[in-house]
């Protein structure tokens, strides 16, 4: 008995032997090379297979038994009989036929592949892998064992090994086999994280059978996962048109939103689908999720409003999510009215926190602070509610209470970078600059040197009337020097050095400042701080033509800054562009009515904390 036969005898448990499966190679019309001439009764075997397909299983078994009695070495007949036994839950008989087939034909790839198929269908993947590895080693030029090994390895999530095997297999000519091949290839690419490769493979499968709705849907999903939104639309749009369903419609709308295409017709058609009430409700919620994730908050609120009505108007989760979307779309009074009954009936820290955000937007600052305090009292172990209260106090310019809130929070959550950022801002507004710098730098260490805390430190220091503190400059520029690829440090180092030189009218520092800022614009070409600071430095040193280039980029990226428009106006004047200078002067006046930079930094922090305190879809308020 060879090693595979022994493996079959020892490892195939009886509980697996009855699993239904389809033999991959046996009883086909194309014989593998090593089978040629082995079957003495091919026509009799084919007739038995036809009987089985016609539902005459007993007659088929009897015919195959007779063939084997006359020709015991007939591999086709024995594998066909094993197949029938396995599909009819007669696992012990199937195992006996496999053992005999492997005993009589120890080197047969057909027997090995059939056995591997049996293991595969039974869910015994490791056994199938071992059988197929032996088959590939014995028959390296045969594609069937190798392709089946790739399939088994993929199902075991051994994607690298599966990829190594599938490389040796060419796409088959048979259309059905070709589709299976590309679907397997897509699965392997997906498992390796190669989403574009997976999408390409599914496109190849769909090319073989372009009218197959299942392939259209799978290809569309794979395109979406790869971010290939136009390909997704190309595949799912006709599917949704011909076979409208919630799944294809939601996917189409998601792709349209990602591609910034008109999605409203799709949304309307989804609303018009004839579905059972439960499915209609689920569709409304799913549509709201997609819309909210694409920042279409007004439309998401509309979907959730309908979902609330369909659910009887009492579902706390739907009501909360409706209030979130109403808040996010600027419908503050509606959001407040949505939350009022929830607050009365089933109040929670989450509800109080959202009410605080709403009250702040409605201009009721004291009420907002009260709500945030309630949230902390109801969930004292939650960091996010203390962050929300601290951010609210910063906006209210109540800096001493804000320091107290952040200090208490830092004791409870010593590893929170966001809390130390808030503390740094509160210290800054109280003009405790050394404490502020220390808090920001501690936040930076806690945040894994991501650069977020450094951005807040730079944004506050650059606006300091006394000029940036030397401690902040040394820390940020030291980091920029030690890490040449750190765009955040490079940007704020250049910006702070320019600010110090400008306030001291120290033009001798200008060459180094400009050099650093040029590096920053290369590292972060879309960062307005880098571009604007370089433009300011060039304008200050009267390099007007180049200053114009950078300041024009600057005002596009930061259109609400009075200083940026003012400096660009001066550049235009110096270049003799009087009309352009006048236009920038008007924009300077308009921008002067906007909030100052301290307010901008505070609002940025508050917005980030607000995002931390709410989950846009499917949170359940605390009981």
Output helix, strand, coil percentages for the chain, rounded to the nearest 5.
75, 0, 25
Return the pLDDT at 134.
Answer: 87
Mean local confidence (pLDDT), 470-479: 92
Mean local confidence (pLDDT), 429-455: 89
Q: How many domains does the chain have?
A: 1
Residue 221: inside a domain: no
- Distance, CA of 492 to CA of 458 (rounded, Å): 6
CB 130 within 8 A of CB 40: no
Question: Which DSSP category does 25 fall into?
Answer: S
Return the pLDDT at 598.
Answer: 64
Residue 197: inside a domain: no
Instruction: Give per-residue pLDDT as tens, 148-202.
Output: 999 999 999 999 999 999 999 999 999 999 999 999 999 999 999 999 999 999 9
Question: Which DSSP category does 461 fall into?
Answer: H
Nearest residue to 93 via CA among 70, 118, 71, 76: 118
Banded model confidence at residue 308, pLDDT cuts 50, 70, 90: very high
Instruction: Give per-residue pLDDT as tens, 109-139.
Output: 888 888 888 778 778 899 889 888 988 998 8
Return the pLDDT at 596.
Answer: 58
Residue 36 has pLDDT above 90, yes or no: no
Residue 44: inside a domain: yes
**Which of 26-30, 229-233, 434-438: highest mean pLDDT?**
229-233
Residue 402 has pLDDT above 60, yes or no: yes
Percent of the chain with pLDDT over 70: 89
Average pLDDT, the chain: 87
Does 143 or 236 have the greater pLDDT score? 236
Banded model confidence at residue 419, pLDDT cuts 50, 70, 90: very high
CATH label of the domain that carries residue 7: 1.25.40.10
Residue 345 has pLDDT above 70, yes or no: yes
Structural domain of 4: 1-139
Residue 81: inside a domain: yes
Residue 28: inside a domain: yes
Supply φ then ψ for residue 38, to 5 degrees: -80, -30
- Distance, CA of 17 to CA of 115 (rounded, Å): 11
Residue 612 has pLDDT above 70, yes or no: no
CB-based burial label for 170 (10 Å; 0-12, 13-18, 19+): exposed
Residue 437: inside a domain: no
Residue 554 has pLDDT above 70, yes or no: yes
Residue 148: inside a domain: no
Does 1 or 398 have the greater pLDDT score? 398
Question: Which DSSP category does 171 fall into?
Answer: P
Residue 71: inside a domain: yes
Which tokens hold the place of 424? 């740094």
Residue 616 has pLDDT above 50, yes or no: no
Return the pLDDT at 543.
Answer: 96
């Amino acid at each position: 008995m060879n090693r595979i036969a022994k493996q079959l005898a020892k490892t195939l448990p009886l509980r697996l032997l009855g699993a239904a499966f389809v033999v991959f190679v046996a009883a086909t019309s194309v014989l593998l090379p090593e089978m040629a001439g082995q079957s003495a009764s091919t026509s009799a075997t084919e007739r038995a297979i036809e009987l089985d397909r016609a539902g005459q299983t007993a007659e088929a078994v009897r015919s195959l038994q007779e063939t084997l009695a006359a020709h015991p070495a007939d591999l086709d007949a024995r594998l066909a009989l094993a197949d029938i036994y396995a599909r009819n839950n007669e696992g012990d008989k199937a195992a006996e036929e496999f053992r005999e087939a492997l005993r009589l034909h120890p080197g047969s790839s057909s027997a090995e592949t059939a056995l591997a198929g049996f293991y595969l269908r039974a869910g015994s993947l490791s056994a199938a892998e071992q059988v197929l590895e032996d088959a590939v080693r014995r028959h390296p030029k045969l594609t069937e064992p190798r392709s089946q090994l790739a399939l088994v390895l993929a199902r075991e999530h051994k994607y690298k090994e599966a990829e190594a095997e599938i490389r040796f297999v060419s796409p088959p000519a048979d259309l059905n086999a070709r589709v299976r091949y590309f679907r397997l290839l897509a699965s392997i690419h997906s498992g390796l994280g190669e989403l574009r490769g997976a999408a390409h493979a599914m496109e190849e499968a769909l090319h073989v059978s372009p009218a197959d709705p299942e392939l259209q849907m799978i290809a569309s999903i794979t395109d979406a996962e790869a971010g290939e939104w136009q390909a997704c639309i190309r595949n799912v749009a006709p599917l949704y048109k011909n076979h409208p369903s919630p799944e294809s419609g939601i996917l189409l709308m998601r792709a349209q939103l990602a591609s910034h295409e008109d999605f409203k017709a799709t949304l309307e058609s989804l609303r018009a689908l004839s579905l059972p009430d439960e499915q209609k409700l689920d569709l409304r919620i799913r549509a709201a999720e997609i819309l909210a994730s694409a920042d279409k908050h007004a439309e998401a609120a509309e979907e959730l409003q309908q979902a609330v009505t369909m659910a009887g108007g009492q579902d706390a989760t739907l009501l909360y999510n409706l209030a979130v979307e109403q808040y996010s779309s600027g419908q503050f009074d509606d959001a407040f009215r949505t939350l009022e009954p929830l607050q009365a009936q089933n109040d929670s820290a989450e509800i109080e926190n959202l009410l605080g955000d709403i009250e702040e937007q409605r201009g009721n600052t004291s009420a907002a602070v009260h709500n945030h305090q309630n949230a902390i009292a109801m969930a004292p172990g939650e960091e996010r509610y203390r962050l929300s209260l601290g951010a609210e106090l910063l906006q209210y310019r109540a800096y001493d209470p804000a320091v107290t809130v952040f200090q208490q929070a830092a004791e409870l959550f010593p590893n929170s970078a966001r809390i130390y950022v808030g503390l740094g801002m509160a210290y800054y507004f109280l003009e405790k600059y050394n404490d502020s710098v220390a808090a920001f730098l501690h936040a930076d260490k806690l945040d894994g040197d991501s650069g977020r805390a450094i951005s807040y430190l730079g944004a506050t220091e650059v606006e300091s009337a006394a000029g940036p503190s030397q401690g902040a400059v040394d820390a940020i520029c030291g980091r920029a020097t030690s890490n040449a690829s750190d765009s955040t440090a490079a940007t704020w180092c250049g910006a702070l050095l320019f600010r110090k030189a400008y306030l001291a009218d120290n033009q001798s520092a200008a060459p180094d400042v400009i050099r650093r800022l040029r590096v920053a614009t290369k590292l972060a070409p879309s960062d307005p701080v880098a571009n604007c600071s370089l433009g300011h430095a060039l304008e200050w040193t009267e390099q007007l033509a180049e200053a114009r280039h950078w300041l024009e980029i600057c005002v596009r990226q930061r259109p609400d800054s009075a200083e940026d428009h003012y400096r660009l106006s001066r550049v235009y004047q110096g270049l003799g562009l009087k009309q352009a200078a006048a236009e920038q002067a008007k924009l300077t006046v308009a921008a002067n009515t906007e909030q100052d930079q301290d307010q901008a930094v505070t609002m940025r922090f508050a917005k980030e904390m607000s995002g931390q305190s709410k989950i846009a879809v499917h949170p359940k308020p605390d009981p």
